[in-house]
């Protein structure tokens, strides 16, 4: 579970405040982007989990520590990894770096409880546990990921 998956994105104007600094709420959105791309690199998508196996990863906790500002037009790298897999929950850890100088901008984590579509807590299907523990296939920028 020590392997990182990296996703690059460029900060959009809409993600910044009047000073051109990224608004704090966007970091949780970027965590989700990193998490989605991490899962795709492991061979599945959220949609597949939900549609085919009635397994949803509900965010139960989120944490973000801001280290340095990100600005409009910065290219950032979202580094994502799984730090804990339990029978009914998963924990992801994230680092966000400025790509051109590798400055650590933020770090955080999210805890997810696995539920079914009726919001009943359930066991993480074994297929996803195995895929999450497997080596990633390949990393793609979010806008160039295979469909």
Q: What is the pLDDT of residues 83-108, one digit of tens each?
A: 999 999 999 999 999 999 999 999 99
Residues 6+ apart with CB under 8 A from 98: 68, 70, 74, 75, 76, 77, 105
What's the pTM value of the predicted model, to 2 decimals?
0.88
Q: Closest Cα partner for 67 from 102, 115, 112?
A: 102
Whether residue 51 lies in the annotated active site: no
Q: What is the pLDDT of residues 37-76, one digit of tens each?
A: 999 999 999 999 999 999 999 999 999 999 999 999 999 9
Map residue 83 onto helix, strand or coil. Answer: strand
pLDDT of residue 5: 95
State which CATH number among 3.30.470.20, 3.10.129.10, 4.10.320.10, 2.60.40.10 fits the domain covering 5-136: 3.10.129.10
Q: Where are the domains of the chain?
A: 5-136
Say which of 17, 51, 100, 101 is annotated catalytic.
Answer: 17
């Amino acid at each position: 579970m020590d392997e990182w998956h990296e996703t690059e994105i460029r900060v959009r104007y809409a993600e910044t405040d009047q000073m051109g600094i990224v608004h704090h709420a966007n970091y949780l959105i970027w965590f989700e982007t990193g998490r989605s791309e991490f899962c795709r690199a492991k061979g599945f998508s959220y949609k597949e989990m939900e549609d085919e196996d009635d397994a949803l990863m509900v965010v139960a906790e989120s944490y973000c520590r801001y280290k340095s500002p990100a600005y409009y037009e910065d290219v950032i790298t979202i580094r994502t990894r799984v730090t804990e897999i339990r029978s009914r929950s998963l924990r992801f850890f994230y680092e966000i770096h400025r790509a051109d100088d590798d400055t650590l901008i933020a770090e955080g984590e999210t805890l997810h409880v696995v539920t079914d579509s009726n919001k009943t807590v359930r066991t993480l299907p074994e297929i996803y546990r195995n895929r999450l523990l497997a080596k990633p296939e390949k990393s793609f920028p979010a806008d160039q990921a295979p469909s």
